[in-house]
Structure 1
């Protein structure tokens, strides 16, 4: 009680966020019961028929459900891998820049896309990658290549989704790696230079080892998001032509529950994803603690 009286302004500052969390994260959890019902909006939760695990059984019996799960895993894993490699590599190259003003300019430029919403970027990509006069395809056609249906062909759609996500996030993701490099003792580089080590050898034996602990942490914690392939991005870019290769769990839930009206089945999909994600988050935190001695508590 004494602690509360002493720090009441801080608790008051946290209160709006706490209320927001309760209202939009905890109270809606009561709707999980719809996953075990043949939910009818006119009957509500109390009046809808209970069907047990039928919705979950139906999830694994539908061919399109299995394809959606595969799409989610594939796209999410590609994003995790390349969103680890890209900022790692970028941080190494940026660390070699000696002109501080140019370095800060580059950092600012690559950070900016992170703060743009996928609603805006989706519209830009739809225009830039269009086969009907899009900037990229106009360049390809001008040098003798055929137009590429980046957003109309399944295989190209996955490539576009992963590549655009890397472009948007690699600059912001490099912050943690640059922070790790800022803690490296400059005398290590000076001693290596005195011993005749080239810049490449300094990078291999000083820079990269200094980045490995945070790389392990970032990589293992990212496993908890293996079923989050990016609803905002996919929703703003996909279309019926690429459902087979681009539809993910979140967009499938939207189309099944909101558009199709099958609330019980959509809730079952969401619950399935949440349970798997919770298990993966637990495993990833344990792995980060074991391999990199990282813990939040």
Structure 2
């Protein structure tokens, strides 16, 4: 039985190694009938996942939401910057910013490395991950959507639109982003600020200042000091989102992080915070 299992793993790794590195155009030109016609019944029951983006003609997808919807387990190791995906007898380990992945401890070279964006979400190449887990994938060029099927589970992945092109003179510098984050930290406790409106008016809209005055500060008092290079995302020429996160707690099975998402609007001269949302996320530490 051990020999059979080992042979299966070897065949899987070999298949991944010899799989042609199709560019995005070739991937997009795969028969759309697989998604549009053959999977019509399955699509009605499919889980819709919005997220993902193209990089070097490869589609990268949010690993946790996709794999968990396929019935796999996901473990994030903050110390080693690795994400481990396991399902049945397959274990996949990816390291952030590394093009080497492990499939059942066998190294595989990726076209695009796993990376972190949007305030802590890990993104991985869809084609590699799907094939490592034994899933079927197809691409619909017309709709710009990917379909994934595995053991009766069907997903439709709708990638995000390409990044908005913002003129350099309109972009927030790293220093400006840090200042906004610092002001949000100050807004967690207003007790020591005498002229709240005057203090925050260069950085917050009047509407948001009214909100924090009414609520006596932000909902959560946690200080979020780090601003990662991917923390700021422009949604259009007039709005942007600054996302940060901070560790809250852990036990033997989970880690909890608090995410803070600040919505910014362009007032004509400067970017100002117009709203802030919080979300608590739990991450599994054990399979």
**TM superposition score category, shorter chain reference:** under 0.3
Normalised by the size of structure 1, how large is the TM-score?
0.24
* Greater C-alpha Rg: 1
- Structure with higher RCO (Cα < 8 A, 6+ apart): 1
Higher strand share: 2
